[in-house]
């Protein structure tokens, strides 16, 4: 019923008969998907005076996981005039993140506002159904044409000065849509990357996430109540993300092979409830909350496309690559790459050329920026990384550099980059010639942790 109402709402907005004219014009830019990346790109393009069409296969609002945003999202929100709308929507403000090891004794807290190299002190924790819908409507208000219930199936590059795609509409009829440029913001559907055979899975990050929601007053006091909480166990990790005043997203990320090994017992609801009850820290934090809604699983961690551009084409967000969600970079990377792609195509349209050189620059710029994020995600699953990460030292401001990276400052100046290089060097040394105390990941039981449950010690730059 809700889908029918959403569809009716989408069709009612088609006052100019756009649907009947889709194939009768050449759009400046066609965007595949209208999630955060697609909506951001559409807004930038529309405000630059371009004729932009975004086709979204679903109807908004719709559920989506990935509720935690980075502080550098705020820079983009300011540019797009979205910050006031997000404030008015009442989303929880996120000032930091807390990390716990399996015994609950060793912990660290990021406080973005105390990071020496971090310019933005907070971000938001969001309900993605509301957040994504808000961004889509903002793109419409900015002048972009967005149609829901349309699936882009395949593109054709035979024409010299534009691209064609076959599109299936809500009536299951297929038609051709033409555009001078395409931005693939299709998320993990990876429409053009799969078509071109570019998707490459990470060989060591074959993960599955199991998640649901709980309701109850379980947040910490003060600003820490908006923190993301990460609990690192031996073979898996948990997230706790407040998405409302009394609602929290709870998830577990683990190896796909370990999930499959559970066999017939691999039921999302049963397993997640059991794991939370068995862990003393989780039980202490969530014991007064109640499970609400459905339980879900998602896979395909992590991958990238070998190329982020093609003929008159740029891939953004998860259609460029998908990172394990431990550091909550997904929405920021989608919007940031959406901005870069929109700027590249605006320049090409203004100068009336195919944008090939600019698209190649886009590809290299994004890959250069992603190097340290990929390293963070890969190393998170190693013991030497956790031993350095969870036992920081102030020398050379290394914790401040890590803080800046995890806040979203991915195009960092040299004074941050050399500190990150040194940080990763220390991680490698720790694996061979330990320079920090070894940390163990024992099997957990409720008897191992004292009553009351630990809290992360705030350290500011010492993260």
Residue 40's nearest CA partner among 315, 311, 322, 341 is 341
Between helices 356-380 and 414-432, what is the axis angle to 10°?
40
Q: Residue 219: phi, psi to the nearest 5?
A: -75, 150
In CATH, what is the architecture of 2-66+129-201+303-369? 3-Layer(bba) Sandwich (3.50)
Give CA angle at 29 (37, 199), nearest 5°.
55
In 302-373, where do the E strands start and end? 303-305, 309-310, 313-315, 321-322
Contact call for residues 278 and 92 (beta carbons, < 8 A): no
Contact call for residues 303 and 199 (beta carbons, < 8 A): yes
Helix (H) or strand (E) holding 373: helix 356-380
Map tokens 């017992």 to a residue. Answer: 265
Q: What is the pLDDT of residue 456?
A: 40
The domain limits of the chain are 2-66+129-201+303-369, 88-126+203-301, 370-432
CB neighbours of residue 196 within 10 Å: 16
Q: What is the pLDDT of residue 19?
A: 67
- The C-alpha atoms of residue 167 and residue 153 are separated, in whole angstroms, by 6
Tokens of 29: 């830019």
Q: Count of alpha carbons within 13 Å of 101, Cβ hemisphere only?
A: 23
CB neighbours of residue 296 within 10 Å: 16
Contact call for residues 275 and 268 (beta carbons, < 8 A): no
Residue 391's nearest CA partner among 297, 452, 314, 459 is 459
At the topology level, CATH places domain 88-126+203-301 in D-Amino Acid Oxidase; Chain A, domain 2 (3.30.9)
CB neighbours of residue 457 within 10 Å: 11
Q: What is the pLDDT of residue 205?
A: 80
- The C-alpha atoms of residue 41 and residue 144 are separated, in whole angstroms, by 10
Q: What is the pLDDT of residue 248?
A: 95
Residue 139's nearest CA partner among 63, 41, 57 is 41
Q: What is the pLDDT of residue 20?
A: 61
Q: What is the pLDDT of residue 458?
A: 35
Q: Residue 192: phi, psi to the nearest 5?
A: -80, -30
DSSP 3-state assignment of 243?
coil
- The pLDDT profile of the chain, 463 residues, written as one tens digit per residue, is 344 334 434 443 443 466 667 767 899 999 999 999 999 999 999 999 999 999 999 999 999 999 999 999 999 999 999 999 999 999 999 999 999 986 667 788 889 988 889 999 999 999 999 999 999 999 999 999 999 999 999 898 888 899 999 999 999 999 999 999 999 999 999 999 999 999 988 877 888 999 999 999 888 888 999 999 999 888 889 999 999 889 999 999 998 889 989 887 679 999 999 999 988 889 888 988 999 999 999 886 688 999 999 999 999 999 999 888 888 999 999 999 999 999 999 999 999 999 999 999 999 999 999 888 888 888 888 889 998 998 888 889 999 999 999 999 999 999 999 999 999 999 999 999 888 888 766 444 443 333 333 344 333 333 3
Look at strands 145-148 and 96-101 and give their pairing.
unpaired
């Amino acid at each position: 019923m809700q889908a029918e109402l959403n569809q009716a709402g989408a069709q009612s907005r088609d006052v100019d008969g756009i649907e009947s004219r889709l194939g009768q014009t050449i759009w400046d830019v066609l965007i595949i998907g209208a999630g955060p990346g697609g909506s951001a790109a559409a807004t930038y393009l529309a405000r630059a005076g371009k004729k932009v069409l975004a086709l979204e296969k679903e109807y908004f609002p719709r559920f989506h996981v990935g509720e935690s945003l980075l502080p550098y999202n705020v820079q983009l929100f300011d540019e797009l005039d979205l910050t006031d709308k997000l404030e008015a929507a009442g989303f929880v403000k996120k000032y930091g993140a807390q990390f716990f090891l399996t015994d609950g004794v060793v912990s660290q807290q990021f406080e973005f506002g105390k990071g020496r190299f971090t310019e933005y002190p907070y971000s938001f924790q969001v309900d993605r159904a509301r957040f994504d819908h808000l961004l889509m409507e903002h793109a419409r208000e900015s002048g972009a044409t967005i149609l829901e219930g349309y699936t882009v199936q395949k593109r054709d590059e035979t024409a010299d000065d534009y691209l064609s795609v076959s599109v299936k509409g809500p009536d299951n009829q297929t038609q051709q849509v033409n555009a001078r440029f395409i931005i693939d913001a299709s998320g993990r559907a990876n429409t053009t990357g799969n078509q071109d055979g570019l998707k490459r899975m990470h060989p060591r990050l074959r993960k599955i996430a199991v998640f649901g929601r709980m309701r109850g007053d379980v947040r910490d006091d003060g600003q820490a109540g908006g923190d993301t909480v990460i609990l690192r166990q031996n073979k898996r990790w948990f997230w706790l993300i407040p998405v409302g005043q009394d609602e929290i997203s709870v998830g577990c990320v683990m190896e796909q092979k370990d999930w499959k090994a559970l066999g017939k017992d691999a039921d999302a609801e049963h397993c997640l409830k059991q794991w939370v009850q068995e862990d003393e820290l989780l039980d202490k934090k969530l014991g007064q909350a109640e499970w609400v809604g459905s339980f879900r699983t998602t896979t395909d961690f992590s991958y990238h496309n070998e190329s982020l551009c093609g003929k008159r084409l740029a891939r953004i967000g998860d259609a460029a690559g998908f990172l394990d969600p431990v550091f909550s970079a997904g929405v920021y990377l989608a919007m940031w790459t959406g901005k870069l792609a929109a700027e590249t195509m605006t320049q090409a349209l203004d100068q009336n050329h195919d944008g090939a050189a600019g698209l190649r620059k886009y590809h290299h710029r994004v890959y250069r920026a992603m190097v340290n994020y990929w390293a963070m995600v890969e190393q998170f699953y190693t013991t030497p990384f956790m031993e350095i990460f969870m036992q920081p030292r102030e020398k050379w401001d290394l914790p401040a550099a890590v803080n800046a990276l995890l806040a979203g400052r991915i195009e960092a100046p040299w004074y941050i980059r050399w500190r990150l290089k040194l940080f990763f060097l220390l991680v490698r040394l720790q694996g061979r010639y330990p320079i920090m105390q070894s940390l163990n990941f024992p099997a957990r039981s409720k008897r191992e942790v004292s009553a009351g449950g630990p809290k992360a010690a705030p350290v500011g730059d010492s993260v």
